[in-house]
Structures are given as C-alpha cells and as structure tokens.
Structure 1
Amino acid sequence: MKRTAYFDNAKAILIYLVVLGHLMSGYLNENQYVDTLYLVIYLFHMPAFILIAGHFSRKIKSLDDLKKLVKTLVLPYVIFQILYTLYYRNVFGDHVQFEFFEPRYALWFLLSMIMWKMMLWVFSSHKGMIVVSIIVSLLVGYMSEVNEWLSLSRTFFFFPFFLMGYYLNRENFVKMKNKWNVRVASMLASTLIVVVYLYGDVRWKEWFFGRVPYEDIGYGLLESSVLSRLFIYVLMIVSTYIFLSLVPTENQFYTNIGGKTLGVYLLHLFIIRAFKETDIYVWIEDTGNYVALFAIAFLIVYVLSSNWVWKVTAPLIMVNRKS
C-alpha cells in the first residue's frame, strides 16, 4: 500500500466534497437527489477529514510544539477571521461583526484543531478514552452554554473522530484496504445511499453539524436527544469506514491536491460567496441543472490547489509545501 498516495487521495477527495457540499447548501429542499447526496456527504466528509488529522497529530510536548501550533493554526485563524469579516461585510454588505471567539464559517475547524491538540494532554493515555470522549459529547449536548462560542460544541462533537485517528496506526489503514473490506464497504455504500434516499430528511443536517446544543435543534431523529446523537455517530463511523476502505492507494491525477487541502479549505468560501451573486447561481436554481455544481466544485479545487495560488497564499496560511 502506497500510504502517502492513499492519504493524499483521501484528503483530495474530501476537500472536493467540502467544496461541493458548501455549493449544494444553497439548493436544499428543491431536489431529492441533491438532498440525498448532501446528507451522504455530511455523514463522512468531516469525520474522515478529522480522523486523518488526528492520525497525523501528536501531543504537544515542548515549547517548540506550542510555537508550531501558534504559527500553523492560531495565526491563520486570526488572519482569516479578519479577512472573511471584511470581505463579507464590505464587499457584500452582510451583517457580520468582528468577533474572534465565534469562528467565521469554515474557520471553526482551525479553532477546534487547536483545542483537540490540547485535549490530547488528557485523552492520550489509553484507547478507552475514545469511549469517554463519546460519553462527554453526548452529555455536553445538554449544556446550552456549549454552542458556537469558541466552536466548543463542534469541538466536543467531532473530537471522538480525532481521537480515533490518533490511536489508529498505519497498519490499521493497510488492513482496511484488503479485498474483504473493500467488498463489504461497496455493499454498505450502496445500501446507505438507498436508505438515505428513501428515509432521509434534509432537516437532519443540524445533527450532522454538531454546532449547537440539543435544545437548539428543531428536528429530532429519535425521541431521545442522546440516542439521536449516538445514532448519528454510528452512521458517521460506518460511513467513514466505507470511505476509507474505498479510497484508491495508487497515485491519481488528483493526488497532489492532498498536500494543499488547508489552502483550499481556507480560501474556497471567498469564491463560493461571490458565486452566489452570479447569474450562474440563479440559472442553476431556475433550471435545476444541479450537475453543474460538480464541475464548479472541481474548478474551484483545481484553481485553489494550483501552484501559482499555493505560492502566493502559503506564507499567509503559515504552512510549508505540505498541508
């Protein structure tokens, strides 16, 4: 198994799905196929991304580790929080205020990454802490104070996936690619898509985001909020297993994008916000040509991962050539 290609392939596919999902968000409740694909994407794209991030993360042990954390996560968060606020407010007239403790849009991921790395001080002692992290998340959902402030709700909600990745060794990923797993994952993928199409409801999306406490979610999956979140965890774990089992291990035409995902992640919402003001956005809505979103998402990822964009933005993002 070519492990580097495998992880770069996974990250490249996931960042494409992140962009596609954000494009699709403006067309929900208009087409059942769009709603189904949106729900399926959100079942695994961030859990898988976060699991991989956890796999490559290490506990902060020194001052140098702390400095690296500040450089690669804290400074980009501050910079892009300012840039997005100015962009949305001054260019489009959106009612947004400067607020450093409530992350703007996709920036919650950076803030949560900071906290996940620090939480390893407590949760890195034993694999059994994965179960503890799930229990903590289930209980935290009842706390109204744990919401979008400091991205706390999402931090606790997705932390079990970060911790799973942290405890998975490289051999675990190799075993996931055996023929038996690939066959099982293929059958499960087909089944999952059909089930979501037949029984899914786009109102489930708030359960997938994990950004607010139970009391702020207007649509329940099951009678119990804890059982609803636990049910979502099961679906997400199964979906993530399916994805990781099906990711190609050989070099693909998109493999090199996997090393530039942070740049694409931080920049793509600038383009998507502008896209929503274009005639193309309205045309897709009026004609129902949602298939165009696949091409637009590819174009965004392709441009933002190009060498010339990377060279210009890499210093701003505070990263080296691999991200």
Structure 2
Amino acid sequence: MFHAASSPVPSPRSSESEKDQHHQSPDRRSKQRDAFFDNAKYMAIVLVAVGHAWEPLKGDSRVLTAAYVLVYAFHMPAFILISGFFSRSFDGSPGKLKRLVTGIVVPYVVFETAYPLLKTYVDGAPQDISLLDPYYLTWFLCALFIWRLTTPFWKLVRYPLPLALGIAMAASATPNIGGDLDLPRVLQFLPFFVLGLNLKPEHFRLVRRRSVRIAAVPVFAFALAFSWWAVPRMNSGWLYHRNSAQELGVPWWVGPVMQLALFGCSLLLTACFLSWVPGRTMWFTTLGAGTLYGYLLHGLVLKTADYRGWFDHPALHRPLGEIAVTVVVAVAVTLMCTKPVRQALRFVVEPRMDWAFKRDATELAREREKQRPAEREREKVGAGA
C-alpha cells in the first residue's frame, strides 16, 4: 500500500501570522511542509521547462512531438491544481493581499519587463513593454493573480466547479474576449484552479495508493500512443487554451466539447502523475519551495538560446541531441530552484517591501499587548522609588 507522507499536510489556515512564520527556524518550517507537494511542484516544473525546450525541436520528430503533446496535456493543469489547493486560505485580508503583491504582482512587472528587453537586446528586434499583454511565461502570474483574487467568490457559490467549467466552455467559443491579461487562457484554465480550491488532503491520498500507481502505467502508455496517432490529426493549439474554436478554424460548438474532453483527459493524467510523486523526503524535496524561480528563470535561458539560433544546430534535431537538450534543461531548472539562487533573487521574486505597506492593525495590537507588562513593571519600579 502506498502510504501518505509521514508529515501532515500543512493547513493554509495557520494560526501563526506570516511574520511569525518568517522568523521560524528553517528546521521548524521544513517540518510543517509536506514532502509530497514539494516533490510534485519540483517534478511539474521540470516537465514545464522540458516541454518548452522541446518546442523548437519537435517539428522533426513525430515521437518527440507525441511526448510534447502528452506533457502539455497535464503539466500546467497539475501545477495550477496544486496552486489552487494552496490558495484555499486566501480571504482578502491585509496580510494575504500584501503577499499577493510581493509574490505575484512584483515579479510579474519585473519579468514582464525583462522578457521584452531580452528580445530587444539579444534578438535585435525591438519589443514593446506592455503590462497588459503577458509575454511568454508571465501569463501564469497574471492568471494566478486573478484566480486568487476571486477565491472568496469560489468559496461562496454552491457549485463552483460546474460554474468554472461553464465559464471555460463559453470562453472557448468566444473569439472577441481579446488578449489583454491573456484572459482566454485565464478563463480556460480556471476549472483546474477552482478544483484545487475544493480539494482536501484526503483526495490526494486517494491517488497515491499503490493500485492507482499501477493503473497509471497503462494509462500513460495509451496516452502516449494516442498522442502519436493524434500528431498529424489534431491542432496542438487546443492544449494551450489561449484560442477560441473559431480562431482554430472549427465551428463554435467544438470549443465547449473540446474543453470538456481536455478537462477530463488532463485531470486523469494529472491524477496518474500525482500517483507517481514520492511522498517521502527526496534529494529534490527542498527544491519544491523554489519552483517560481525555476519557472521564471528558465524562460530567459531558453529564449536566449532561441534568439541566438542555438536550437537550429542539426545535431540537436537527432535523438541523441534531443536527449541531451532534455537533460541539460532539467539540470538547469533544478539549479534555478536551489537555495543560493533563491537568496540572490529574492529581492525581485519575493521582496519583503515592508516600506510600501501600512502596519496591520492586528499586528500592532499584539505588539502593544506585549509591551504593556513591561510598562506596568516600570511604573511599579518608579512608584517604589
């Protein structure tokens, strides 16, 4: 039997303030984390980076394209579902809003500026900077900001997942939404986030059973074979969830049908993927805390390689070259999640920014309460003198 991780799943509704958590010792913070989720985040971010590296190489290999289609069918859904699970505690309180700004808005502005500048100075093609038009990977930060802001609403409605699916289906048949904030993708990926909001730790334990792990083998084998068959027959644009049916050249009603079909397939593959995630502490477990760094940084490396034409080298379009690229990118994104990188870039990815915010009233009241005994003691000493 595949048992759950020995450490309990940390509840997002912690009784400790965010400041108290920040000042805890590393050992105590690590004990509060569940190795399973850190492992899942690390493995998902490696798949994201590898999938992006395969994109400029896949045209020459039907097998690689099939693997690309398979990975794209579940890697972002899995990442978004876990993000939704850990967004359950968002309630719009001052502390949570502060974290939303420092952990999502600030890195979005920084990297939404960095990517166009990279294209301008490395590729030589001037690229305008627009905070309303997410560039390359930054769409996820924009989407996560919107999803998390709407969390209280999804916790309020009676049937959140059917409603989210309805919105995604409508978005897949609406070509006039526009590209601002990448709203088509935000809306079409929404059901995975809402599903994550409504999951509980025991739901993850269900997919981590030994029977599910065994069943995942033929499921992935069939999915890979189906992907190989579908390569010349299906438009891979459906996997990106950023276009309507009409924009993909099919009648509007195909959009909702494909949205439902892809949601079911992605959910099944996500469950199979999670069944293979180790529940115990592994050598890469601590890297799960730095997946945002790996996500944002690997794009800069891959875009640089693309602009420099490195992917055009004939050797990389052969099986050994494709394997080499896969290994190099997996190692690179792993290094980007390490502690030294996080410490060096925390000022842009996870800045404190205490100077920009008012002190929380609850925190101020707690500090005044702590100071009162000392003041009373000083008054007694003064009276005695």
Normalised by the length of structure 1, the TM-score is: 0.92
Q: Do the aligned partners of residues 205 and 248 (structure 1) sit closer, same or farther apart at CA in structure 2, a change above 3 Å counting?
A: same
Letter in 1 for 2:236: K
1:100-129: per-residue Cα shift (whole Å, max 9, x none)? 101111000000001001222322125621
1:290 aligns with 2:287: no
Q: Is the 8 A contact 1:8 1:258 kept in 2?
A: yes
Letter in 2 for 1:256: T
Which of 244, 250, 255 pairs up with 1:225?
A: 255
* Distance in 2, Cα, partners of 1:7 & 1:316: 24
Partner of 1:270: 300
1:199 aligns with 2:251: no
Which of 303, 327, 346 pairs up with 1:314?
A: 346
* Distance in 2, Cα, partners of 1:195 & 1:224: 20
The SS at the match of 1:80 is: helix
The SS at the match of 1:29 is: helix
Supply the RMSD in Å over aligned alpha carbons.
2.1
Partner of 1:73: 104
Q: CA deviation at 1:50?
A: 0.2
Q: Is the 8 A contact 1:12 1:254 kept in 2?
A: yes
Q: Is the 8 A contact 1:47 1:161 kept in 2?
A: yes
Q: Do the aligned partners of residues 172 and 83 (structure 1) sit closer, same or farther apart at CA in structure 2, a change above 3 Å counting?
A: same
* Distance in 1, Cα, partners of 2:251 & 2:61: 21
Q: Is the 8 A contact 2:169 2:260 kept in 1?
A: yes
* Distance in 1, Cα, partners of 2:291 & 2:312: 25
1:300 aligns with 2:338: no
- Of stretches 4-13 and 139-148 in structure 1, the one that deviates more from structure 2 is 139-148
1:259 aligns with 2:289: yes
1:19 aligns with 2:49: yes
Partner of 2:357: none
Q: CA deviation at 1:285?
A: 4.0
The SS at the match of 2:186 is: helix
* Distance in 2, Cα, partners of 1:149 & 1:30: 33
Letter in 1 for 2:209: N
Q: Is the 8 A contact 1:140 1:156 kept in 2?
A: yes
Give identity over the alignment, percent: 24
1:133-182: per-residue Cα shift (whole Å, max 9, x none)? 10111012222232431121111111110111111111111121112222
Q: CA deviation at 1:286?
A: 4.9
* Distance in 2, Cα, partners of 1:224 & 1:217: 10
Q: Is the 8 A contact 1:264 1:304 kept in 2?
A: yes
Q: Is the 8 A contact 2:57 2:311 kept in 1?
A: no
Structure with bigger RCO (C-alpha 8 Å, 6+ apart): 1
1:274-296: per-residue Cα shift (whole Å, max 9, x none)? 22325565143454521112211
Letter in 2 for 1:199: A
Q: How does 1:128-143 map to 2 (within 5 A)?
A: 128-143=159-174
Q: Is the 8 A contact 1:275 1:281 kept in 2?
A: no
Q: Do the aligned partners of residues 206 and 278 (structure 1) sit closer, same or farther apart at CA in structure 2, a change above 3 Å counting?
A: closer
Q: Is the 8 A contact 1:88 1:94 kept in 2?
A: yes
Partner of 1:242: 272
* Distance in 1, Cα, partners of 2:74 & 2:251: 18
The SS at the match of 1:290 is: helix
1:86-109: per-residue Cα shift (whole Å, max 9, x none)? 111122223421111011110000
Letter in 2 for 1:23: A
Q: Is the 8 A contact 1:59 1:121 kept in 2?
A: yes
Question: Where does the alignment leave 5 or more consecutive residues of structure 2 unmatched?
Answer: 10-33, 353-385
Which of 82, 94, 107 pairs up with 2:138?
A: 107
* Distance in 1, Cα, partners of 2:99 & 2:109: 15
Q: Do the aligned partners of residues 50 and 127 (structure 1) sit closer, same or farther apart at CA in structure 2, a change above 3 Å counting?
A: farther
Partner of 1:162: 193
1:93 aligns with 2:111: no
Partner of 1:210: 241
Q: Is the 8 A contact 1:148 1:154 kept in 2?
A: no
* Distance in 2, Cα, partners of 1:313 & 1:77: 14
Q: CA deviation at 1:311?
A: 1.3
1:211-244: per-residue Cα shift (whole Å, max 9, x none)? 12222124x5997222122211121111111111
